[in-house]
Amino acid sequence: MPNITSPSNISVQVAEEQSDSVNGRWIGGVAASALDAVGKSGDGLSIVITDDATVAELNKTHRGLDETTDVLSFSYAHSGKYYGDGERASVTDAVDEFVLPPEFDVGLGEIVISYPQAERQAPEAGHTVEKEMAVLLAHGILHLLGYDHEKDGEAAIMKIWESKAFDAVVSDGFLHDAEPGR
């Protein structure tokens, strides 16, 4: 997977199978625009665009859900909810936990998107794959910032921030044919 350095120190990796369809610099620009709209920088943000099988395996391992999904967010600051039976497999069982000195910021985390899932969802939502990717990036970024949609009140707040981030992506020229909001 090639690693592309994008604006605001955002790292973008696009799997070889998606490299003809996805422009890593565009992904980084969209993420930087969305982050700017919510008042955050991209320091410590990694984005991976990959296939269904990879996302399904990550979803099973880290969330206990044996299925593919469109976007996963892995925060360096907080862990997400585990939905599986039994206990979550510990990543630190085989590796000692790495602790940064207090003066270092851990960064935002990592967003993993299934490009084939985005391709399937785009026509269902009535828009382009590019718009779907922008929506998924904004959604993933908000999860990294601690927003969730488990409860109605949280979902409404997250929706407001998603719209704000998406509107910035449109106004910054990353999506010429998209209307503001989702």
pTM attached to this predicted model? 0.80
Task: Say what the pLDDT of residue 30 is.
Answer: 93
Task: Say what the pLDDT of residue 96 is.
Answer: 46
17 located within any domain: yes
CATH number of the domain residue 122 falls in:
3.40.390.30
10 located within any domain: yes
Q: Which of 18, 12, 15, 14 is nearest to 45 (CA)?
A: 12
27 located within any domain: yes
98 located within any domain: no
Mean pLDDT of 134-146: 91
Q: Is the pLDDT of residue 5 over 50?
A: no
pLDDT digits (tens, 9 = 90+) for 59-99: 888 877 788 899 999 987 766 665 556 555 555 443 445 55
94 located within any domain: no
The whole domain housing 67 covers 3-80+106-171
pLDDT digits (tens, 9 = 90+) for 153-168: 878 888 888 888 878 8
Task: Say what the pLDDT of residue 163 is.
Answer: 84
Give me the count of residues in the chain: 182
More confident residue, 164 or 151: 164
99 located within any domain: no
Laid out side by side, the sheet with 109-114 consists of 3-6, 10-14, 45-50, 109-114, 71-75
Please give the C-alpha separations between residue 12 and each of 27, 28, 60, 115, 125, in angstroms, as whole numbers: 7, 6, 23, 14, 25
Domain count, the chain: 1
